[in-house]
Amino acid sequence: MPRALVTGITGQDGSYLAEFLLDKGYDVYGLIRRSSVVTDQRIRHLIDRVELIDGDLLDQLSLIKAMRTARPDEVYNLAAQSFVPTSWGQPVLTGEFTALGVTKMLEAVRVADWPVRFYQASSSEMFGKVQEVPQTENTPFYPRSPYGVAKVYGHWITVNYRESYNLYACSGILFNHESPRRGLEFAPRKIARAVARIKLGKQMEIRLGNLDARRDWGFAGDYVRAMWMMLQQDAPDDYVIATGETHSVAEFCELAFRRVGIDNWRDYIVIDPALLRPAEVDLLIGDPTKAREKLGWQPEVSFEGLVNLMVDADLAMEAQS
């Protein structure tokens, strides 16, 4: 059976990827960092089928030990400090996790004495103040947050290890992807949950920042399939993974409220200046042509389908609690 090591297995993408790999017949190992509270909610349904290994991106030796325990054929490096606003509050920590953590994981892969394929979770945040519309693998980066800057480092160190050491290392430049498992602080989940709670009379309003920002939003389940596809090719390469559509935060709100039968959605929104960012990424829209042509990858969930499935899931969850 093929073996995979997933860092960030307790996160949104880690949970979908673990499910996907188990279905493909992989032995799945997940890196998990010590916490005083339980962090395995997203993978609890898989807990008997995955092997969890203690380790932290900050601790080089723990990553080498994780590699020796799992002896993976494929490593998916998903762990990061992934929330953009936190990266202004904790820029050094974000750099340690999201930038240097990649080098630590790559070093652990480099010293392995068996062949390993490596996936790095790069981000459309690297395009930031976009230099081209739509964004492709060749669009120059112009990050707008300490998180985006850290991801640019992670991207280039992955390319560098591929070229320096002939590693099979791929960087997936993934645009925003969401699901009912998304962290509550990210805009789409915050909106979906608040709409569900408003519908059920549990909340009166949603406090949001910039409603005009536009993102290329897809479904996380579709995006983890692309990660795996990248590592099945003859040669390593970098790919943009996106839907090719862009929508504003306001459009997300409108569709989410419409799903529960509320048309006067603006009456429920309070703009909170504290939620505006020091530097915003105004527009993201990816061109997934290379992924479609070389990997045969296409998203299966539409924007409206995504909004509906997130609102429906939060309605069901909120109705029970």
Residues with catalytic annotation?
Answer: 123, 125, 147
DSSP letters, 184-235, are TTSHHHHHHHHHHHHHTTS-S-EEES-SS-EE--EEHHHHHHHHHHHTTSSS
Tokens matching residue 275: 């939620």
Round to whole Å and give the CA distance between 193 and 178: 13
- Beta carbons of 8 and 121 less than 8 angstroms apart: yes
- The 171-200 site mask, x for binding ligand NAP (CB under 6 A), equals ---x-xx-----x-----------------
- 82 near ligand NAP (CB under 6 A): yes
Residue 80 sits in the site that holds ligand NAP (CB under 6 A): yes
Smallest gap from Cβ 19 to ligand NAP, in A, equals 13
Residue 135 pairs in a beta bridge with: 286
Instruction: Tell me the CA distances in angstroms from 302 to 178, 243, 257, 270, 283, one per residue in order.
Output: 12, 8, 17, 28, 19
Of 28-36, 52-60, 99-107, 123-131: span binding ligand G4F (CB under 6 A): 123-131
User: Of the two residues 60 and 203, which places its CB atom closer to ligand NAP in the complex?
Assistant: 60
| Tokens 């939003």 -> residue | 217
Of 86 and 308, which has the nearer Cβ to ligand NAP? 86
What is the identity of the amino acid at 98?
T
| Region near ligand G4F per CB under 6 A, out of 27-35, 179-187, 229-237, 290-298 | 179-187
Using CB under 6 A as the binding rule, whether residue 268 contacts ligand G4F is answered as no
86, 210, 248, 308: which one binds ligand G4F (CB under 6 A) = 210
Q: Which residues contact ligand G4F (rule: CB under 6 A)?
A: 82, 84, 123-125, 175-176, 185-188, 190, 208-210, 213, 215, 249, 275, 277, 280-281, 284
